[in-house]
Structure 1
Amino acid sequence: MRVALLTEGARPHPQRGAGAWCDRLAEGLPEHEFELYLLAGPGGFGAAERLSPAWRGARDLALWGRRPGGRAPGALRRRQYAGAYEELVRALVLPGQRAGFGAGLHRLAALAREDGTLPAFLASGHARRVLERTWRLPGADASAGQPLVRDVLVAADLLEQCLRPLSAPWYGTGPGGLGGADLCHVVGGGPAALPALVARHLHGVPFVVTEHGLHLREQYLGHREAPYLPQPSAGGAPTPVRALLLSFFRALTEETYRQAAILTPGSAHDQQWQRRCGADPARTRVVYEGTPAVDRPAAGPEPERPTLVWAGALEPGRDTELMLRAFARVRAELPGARLVVHGEETAPGYRAHCAAVAERLGITTAVDFAGRPGSLAEAWEGGTVAVFSALSQRSPRLLADAMLSGRAVVSTDVGVAREVVGPAGLLVPARDPHALAGACLALLRDEERRARLGLAGRLRAQERFAVEPVISAFREVYLELVSQYPAFPGGGDDGEGGRAPRPFARPAEYWLTDGPRGGRADAPRGGSDDPGGQDHAEELAEAV
């Protein structure tokens, strides 16, 4: 079958892209034809030059940066665009009209498909006036304050970029068109789901959504420091632009979850969040993110000195300060212990703050801020115990990598930690240096227990994060979907009475004959319940 895989590439905030995971998926399912549709950063992403041989081809669309050129719509079409755009904005700012988001989205997509002038309209003064007028309607959500003129200008520009996929040249049933795909697979959610929503609406193509970390949650976290948005007031309240943009992503996420045939979150923790956003539990199944690291050999002998190794971004959310305070207690019990901190500073000044904390605690000589390691395998090999002190553990990747090293793991019991570590490690409450220090000391003093937990953790991670189960899971998902949806969903004219053909309504031999799909125009069109279908199959067999 033909699978259209949609994802995002480079962008101003948290990086998302096709990456090695999509390559492994395409390489693991060689029986299918994969084509990449990439929403890239300014100037494109160079997708065609980076493709694995498993891909049939790639198409990209510049999502961020200067808008693509093109003619402006005429007066009549401009009014039609304005009506659809107003319906969309109303759904974002008026609490009672949330249900109109999908309708406005599809109206804009239909208009864009007819004449291709949507980007020019969204960047026009007319669109900004529609946005300003609708944003200031009585009853509009003003919890973030009334929008100023600068807010309207910034928000209009950001909405134009978010809606660019609606005007992508990817729709229709011709070569490269999403209407000719058997299914769409959205990786990452967000704007990458827009083409899948349009293909679902226009051609009935089902789509799968895979999220390794929820796109909506990352938007809420990322927009706090987005450099292109006006900064919050001194009281910390969100600006009108932030509120509008987050309302857009929230509505897009809810529409995506509602229309998706199957959702495959990367953890049960993410699955719970998806359900809070309206996902149907019956259409949701957890598929862990496989990693080739399962084939990596276990770490070698432990270092001579008892060493705690910590890895992650240097930011308050990772709570490196908690690790330092816990280590001070460990150091008091085991004077020969040391702590190695691997990671880059992502919050300005946080490394200096941690260094000052270590100095106040009197552990500076035993703490090594080692920066970014050459590889994670080297980081774990240099420690006796791997420790995680985060306030929120959203992704299982780092925990799983530490477990695959064969080192015993201690983690705060937050996010996905309990799901990933389970009984193969030690879990402690967040913000509790006494409990964290106690768990570290228990393992540093007990070599046999460290070895037992290290082996159990490695086996658990190998079972859950191997690549083969992931490939098998998506093979089953794809086959399940195509068995429920008609072949050639865009070809509604092939069904009786102009209706879309039923799944398996005709024998496979039908598609090898002439007629609507090629060959003799007078070829019999017998179905599985058509007596002529069997006769035609026998004639074809004799001819061969």
Structure 2
Amino acid sequence: MRIALVSEGTYPYAMGGVSIWCEQLIRGMPDYRWEVVALTVDGTEEPVFDRPANLDRVHSIPLWGGRATGRPRRGRGVLVPSGRPGAEFVESYEVFLRALVTPLESTRSQAGAVNRSTFLLALRGMFEYAAGGGDLSAALLSNEALRMMLEAWHTLRVEETGPAPTVADALEAAWLISHMLRPLSAPPVRADIVHSSMNGLATLVGMAATWTYGTPLVLSEHGIYLRERYISYLHDDAPHPVRVLVLSFFRSLAGAAYLITGALAPHSQYNRRWQLHNGADPDRMWTMYNGVDPDEFPPAAGEPDVPTISFMGRIDPLKDLHTLIRAFALVRTEIPEARLRIFGGTPAANKVYHESCEALIDELGLTGHAVLEGRVGNAVEAYHAGSLVALTSISEGFPYTVVEAMACGRPTVCTNVGGVAEAVGDTGFVVAPRDVTAIADACVRMLKDREMRLRLGADARARVLEKFTLQRSLQAYRDIYERLAEPRTASPAPKHLRGQAQGWVRVPNRTTRPGVAAVTARPVATPVPARPEVAPAARSEATPARSQATPATARPEMAPATRPEMAPAARAEAAPAVWPGAAPVTARVPRQRGPEQYSSAAYRSRHDPNSSGPDLPPAPGPDPDDEPTIMMRTTGGR
């Protein structure tokens, strides 16, 4: 079996949790042949991983370097001049803009379902335009496309109270979107399975393969990509219309990806709730927790000579080390001999933050007691160096550092973000993020009670051995791959699909009118069954915002994050064709704002699953506790 693994800003060109996950997935299945499609900044990146023997090919799709052009037409070998876009592009782009610009009150409404379906069809139309030799980037930046964008705004957002876009605003938004859609102009990857390591732009690669060859798409989400994009624009200085258009693009693309995905693997129940809120089909979702190889993270033989708090991870604002340092200052008022050791490298983009941490240590009189140790050769050393391991992030996916520390038999003090509480269970303390007093109280309580530390540490390793091992996760993904690769038989169309997006799409041998290809009910892949031996994640109760630390608890339900207003999009006109055996229809795309934010350092620092962006409230959704769960593993991720 051949699997194409798609990454964005991570493997094999940057270290981090997602990269380690990719590496372990490839090496853990040596009987499969692999290739990697990497979305990169400019294509000049150098690999930081040795190539596994079963990795046949790595090729990149630069999002910002050079210029994307149309592909040669079949049999002609010449590029179509960019010039004025033809009717094929205009028809698809009109549908695209309707889905993008129309205000949408709820992603869970019928209007939201229509929006996702029509956006997906528009993406396919633009893919077909590029596949036929059209210059998609040039078309998106043409005068005609800018006129259409401005006209769509004025027509569909009649109740908009904010400022209308200027020509400069439309050009900026179109420029950003043209870069985001570059994967649609790349040759489709050929494999038995396409596995996207994250939602967003990486799913465009899978969509192109699905539309061309009927290839099934598997989508893993370590953190919620859409939430990260909302976060990145909270304090962005882009004009209001640009923010609306780009965030709407991210949201629509996210929902479209959920439609086309054959198997969706959230890496925590927290992520699962977000996905359900944004239109994912629960019948095609299997929670797969990250896991580790316990042999690589042996339990510590003893404890350090002085009470020590250890942190292991990237030096990054999302890790909220300022809160950890301030909490440690309070710890020292109770335990003067205590130490704080912060292990981890600093991305170039975070140099200023590193300096601010050092300045805060000096300001609080902690010099010599709190130390930024830098990158460590083996993470085990960092975990063993502490009496406990602390993680005070404001956002996480399902953090490997927590699971690794638990495997080493170290109790943890963590903030209640992402899937942290699901990992910790009752083997550590989980408190509210940014609550300096609660974090300090938890650390003091644990540092003063050796018997409790040892008991929680032993329980933590036992929990890892039971729930978060490498072997279980690899087998779970192997099962999904083999089931999706089986020949498909007809079955009723998925209940979550409506109208023209009902069913799966395969590109016909004849020309299909771009942007209006009908997606009539198609044979659906048999759902991949969850592994029965994996028990659902236990629910735990919410931790108060400020209170004495208590054993780890689950995040309290909160209101969904504010989303840009978008409304029902007009359905695309249907073209005949039912293509059995094709893969599901969906797409989704989120991303940062410009090339200055896509420097190698800045870009890589944003794509660690352990830092999914500041913690926004979880989207409400069906109670996931009764859903079957599957373990997903990765070792060594920071």
Aligned equivalents of 1:347 and 1:58: distance in 2? 28
Aligned equivalents of 1:352 and 1:34: distance in 2? 41
Give deviations 1:179-209, integer Å, cap 9, x for gaps. Answer: xx43322211211111322333444332111
Q: CA contact under 8 A between 2:322 and 2:360: conserved in structure 1?
A: yes
Aligned equivalents of 1:502 and 1:449: distance in 2? 52
Give deviations 1:315-363, integer Å, cap 9, x for gaps. Answer: 5543434334433333222222222234548667655655565566554
User: How far apart are residue 73 of structure 1 and its match?
Assistant: 4.2
Q: Do residues 417 (structure 1) and 432 (structure 2) align?
A: no
Match of 1:536 in 2: none
User: How far apart are residue 436 of structure 1 and its match?
Assistant: 2.8
Q: CA contact under 8 A between 1:10 and 1:45: conserved in structure 2?
A: no
User: How far apart are residue 219 of structure 1 and its match?
Assistant: 2.1
Aligned equivalents of 1:456 and 1:408: distance in 2? 9
Q: Which has the higher contact order (CA 8 A, sep 6+)?
A: 2
Match of 2:176 in 1: 158
Aligned equivalents of 2:262 and 2:524: distance in 1? 17
Q: Do residues 134 (structure 1) and 149 (structure 2) align?
A: no
Q: Do residues 205 (structure 1) and 219 (structure 2) align?
A: no
Q: CA contact under 8 A between 2:84 and 2:144: conserved in structure 1?
A: no
Aligned equivalents of 2:39 and 2:295: distance in 1? 30
Give deviations 1:78-135, integer Å, cap 9, x for gaps. Answer: 2321221222122111126835211211111122212243233234344333333333
Residue correspondence of structure 1 range 341-490 to structure 2 within 5 A? 341-343=342-344, 344=346, 350=353, 362-364=365-367, 366-483=369-486, 485=488
- Percent of aligned positions with the same letter in both sequences? 34
- Shift of the 16–7 alpha-carbon distance from structure 1 to 2, 3 Å rule, reads farther
* Code of the aligned partner of 2:334: E
Aligned equivalents of 1:184 and 1:207: distance in 2? 5
Match of 2:33 in 1: 33
* Code of the aligned partner of 1:120: A
- Tell me, what secondary structure is at the counterpart of 1:424? coil
* Code of the aligned partner of 1:89: L
Normalising by structure 1, report the TM-score: 0.77
- Shift of the 308–76 alpha-carbon distance from structure 1 to 2, 3 Å rule, reads closer
Residue correspondence of structure 1 range 23-102 to structure 2 within 5 A? 23-43=23-43, 45=45, 51-69=51-69, 71-73=79-81, 78-95=86-103, 98-99=115-116, 100-102=118-120
Q: CA contact under 8 A between 2:69 and 2:185: conserved in structure 1?
A: no
Aligned equivalents of 2:313 and 2:36: distance in 1? 31
Aligned equivalents of 1:44 and 1:431: distance in 2? 38
Q: CA contact under 8 A between 1:294 and 1:466: conserved in structure 2?
A: no
Aligned equivalents of 1:414 and 1:490: distance in 2? 40
Match of 2:248 in 1: 247
- Shift of the 200–16 alpha-carbon distance from structure 1 to 2, 3 Å rule, reads farther
1:193 to 196, 200, 203: 203
Match of 1:329 in 2: 330
Aligned equivalents of 1:421 and 1:113: distance in 2? 48
Aligned equivalents of 2:314 and 2:161: distance in 1? 33
Aligned equivalents of 2:32 and 2:350: distance in 1? 43
Residue correspondence of structure 1 range 169-180 to structure 2 within 5 A? 169-170=187-188, 178=190
Q: Do residues 256 (structure 1) and 266 (structure 2) align?
A: no
Aligned equivalents of 1:144 and 1:466: distance in 2? 51
User: How far apart are residue 308 of structure 1 and its match?
Assistant: 1.6
User: How far apart are residue 67 of structure 1 and its match?
Assistant: 1.4
Aligned equivalents of 2:360 and 2:506: distance in 1? 63
Aligned equivalents of 2:97 and 2:366: distance in 1? 55
User: How far apart are residue 277 of structure 1 and its match?
Assistant: 1.1
User: How far apart are residue 29 of structure 1 and its match?
Assistant: 2.8
Match of 2:2 in 1: 2
Q: CA contact under 8 A between 2:406 and 2:412: conserved in structure 1?
A: yes
Aligned equivalents of 1:294 and 1:480: distance in 2? 30
2:230 to 220, 238, 250: 220
Aligned equivalents of 2:122 and 2:22: distance in 1? 31
Aligned equivalents of 1:206 and 1:139: distance in 2? 37
Residue correspondence of structure 1 range 489-500 to structure 2 within 5 A? none
Aligned equivalents of 2:479 and 2:37: distance in 1? 22
Q: CA contact under 8 A between 2:389 and 2:413: conserved in structure 1?
A: yes
Residues 267-276 or 389-398, more deviating? 389-398
Match of 1:120 in 2: 138
Aligned equivalents of 1:20 and 1:353: distance in 2? 29
Aligned equivalents of 2:522 and 2:103: distance in 1? 36
* Code of the aligned partner of 1:190: G
Aligned equivalents of 2:507 and 2:142: distance in 1? 36
Aligned equivalents of 1:392 and 1:276: distance in 2? 19
Residues 44-53 or 30-39, more deviating? 44-53
Aligned equivalents of 2:305 and 2:9: distance in 1? 44
- Shift of the 386–24 alpha-carbon distance from structure 1 to 2, 3 Å rule, reads closer
Match of 1:231 in 2: 237
Match of 2:623 in 1: none
Q: CA contact under 8 A between 2:315 and 2:350: conserved in structure 1?
A: yes
Q: CA contact under 8 A between 1:404 and 1:458: conserved in structure 2?
A: yes
Give deviations 1:259-282, integer Å, cap 9, x for gaps. Answer: 211101112221121111111222
User: How far apart are residue 248 of structure 1 and its match?
Assistant: 0.8
Q: Do residues 105 (structure 1) and 123 (structure 2) align?
A: yes
- Tell me, what secondary structure is at the counterpart of 1:427? strand
User: How far apart are residue 155 of structure 1 and its match?
Assistant: 1.5
- Shift of the 130–65 alpha-carbon distance from structure 1 to 2, 3 Å rule, reads farther
Aligned equivalents of 1:355 and 1:18: distance in 2? 28
* Code of the aligned partner of 1:102: L
Match of 1:184 in 2: 194
Aligned equivalents of 1:335 and 1:17: distance in 2? 35
Give unpaired runs (5+ residues) of structure 2: 71-78, 105-113, 491-504, 510-520, 527-638
Which has the larger share of helix?
Answer: 1
Give unpaired runs (5+ residues) of structure 1: 171-176, 233-237, 494-498, 505-544
Give deviations 1:394-444, integer Å, cap 9, x for gaps. Answer: 332221122223222122333322101111112234444443333222322
User: How far apart are residue 223 of structure 1 and its match?
Assistant: 4.1
Match of 1:539 in 2: none
Aligned equivalents of 1:378 and 1:14: distance in 2? 22
Give deviations 1:350-409, integer Å, cap 9, x for gaps. Answer: 556555655665544533343444443232222212122333333322211222232221
Give deviations 1:37-75, integer Å, cap 9, x for gaps. Answer: 332331355679964221233443222233134545477
- The number of equivalent residue pairs is 480
Match of 1:496 in 2: none
Aligned equivalents of 2:306 and 2:231: distance in 1? 39
- Shift of the 362–68 alpha-carbon distance from structure 1 to 2, 3 Å rule, reads closer
- What RMSD over aligned residues (CA atoms) do the two structures have, in Å? 3.7
Residues 321-330 or 273-282, more deviating? 321-330
Q: In terms of Rg, which structure is larger?
A: 1
Match of 1:21 in 2: 21
- Tell me, what secondary structure is at the counterpart of 1:287? strand
User: How far apart are residue 27 of structure 1 and its match?
Assistant: 3.1
Match of 1:267 in 2: 268
Aligned equivalents of 2:302 and 2:48: distance in 1? 43
- Tell me, what secondary structure is at the counterpart of 2:396? coil
* Code of the aligned partner of 1:38: A
